[in-house]
Chains A and B, each alone.
Chain A
Amino acid sequence: MLKKVDARGMNCPLPVIHTKKALETIENGKITTIVDNEVAKENVSKLAKSLDFKVDIQQSQGNYYIDIFKEHNMIEPIDMDIHCDTTPKKDLVILISKDRLGEGSEELGKILMKGYIYTLTEVQPLPKSILFLNGGVNLVVEGAETIEHLRDLESKGVEILSCGACLDYFKVKNKLLVGGIGNMYHIVEKLNNAQNTIKL
């Protein structure tokens, strides 16, 4: 038995819903779902995989033809991770006010902060800005082991901004290696305009 689901032009998550319904109507056999965007393609194949059905995808003229082979009874989908909104959260601002993460051990705290900043480079969505103040500026100046990761973030479009008064206070203004210098107005504006902030 062969069945087609033409999901072109449908909004997320409709392609998934229609594909699932079509799969429910057949005993076994093949369903071909046609979608016109990457997100729908990903979501429909996630559905098939979570049902433990074989998938075969072909691309042609901007459309994706997703063949799903129903070879056994349907179970309820497990771990189906459907995403409709894939736009990055561009409004996350992180305020870093220390050169270590957490309390307890200074040594461990510094390692964890380094790990945190490295991991920021690996995880989507990226934050919009990272602001450094007080002891946090130690992470953006000469000798810091976080420079490379912060430069990486900056090259990916993340704004790196350090508190000028703080760089001054620690006498490291001429040792700044990554990002720009801002004052309290910048910091307050960035934090006030952010929809999501994390303070460390």
Chain B
Amino acid sequence: MNREKIYVIVFDSTHYAIAAEKNLKDKGYKFNMIPTPREITANCGLSIMFNEDILGYIKKDVESKNLKVKGIYEMEKTLHEKKVTQIG
């Protein structure tokens, strides 16, 4: 079965998320800004979602810019559900 593994970074506030989006966009990374998935938190919030290949770069970038992160999650999507594991 084809399982899609994606990564999600949840920020401490909307402002950090917006700042991260701007920064990562400037760097030309391929990612999506998405509403935080329900499996992670029921709070309304913004997150960025991207593939495994750029996880290291994005993590480093976000850290160096002092953007406050609430958590980094690995999400495995199957047909019926999303499995979420916190990895940072």
| Residues in A lying within 8 Å of B, measured CB to CB | 107-108, 111, 114-115, 118-119, 148
Contacts and interface: CB of A to CB of B under 8 A. Distances in A.
A71 B14 CA distance: 47
B14 A115 contact: no
Q: How large is the interface on B (under 10, 10 to 19, 20 to 34, 35 or more residues)?
A: under 10
A115 B46 contact: yes
Interface in B3-21: 14, 18, 21
B54 interface: no
Nearest to B38: A122
Nearest to B35: A115
Contacts of A108: 14, 18
Contacts of B18: 107-108, 111
Nearest to A107: B18
B78 interface: no
B33 interface: yes
A22 to B, nearest CB: 28
Nearest to B82: A122
A61 to B, nearest CB: 23
A111 to B, nearest CB: 6
A114 B32 CA distance: 9
Given A115-B35, A115-B46, A118-B32, 11 more contacts: A108-B14, A108-B18, A111-B21, A111-B33, A114-B33, A115-B33, A115-B34, A118-B34, A118-B35, A119-B34, A148-B32
B4 to A, nearest CB: 12
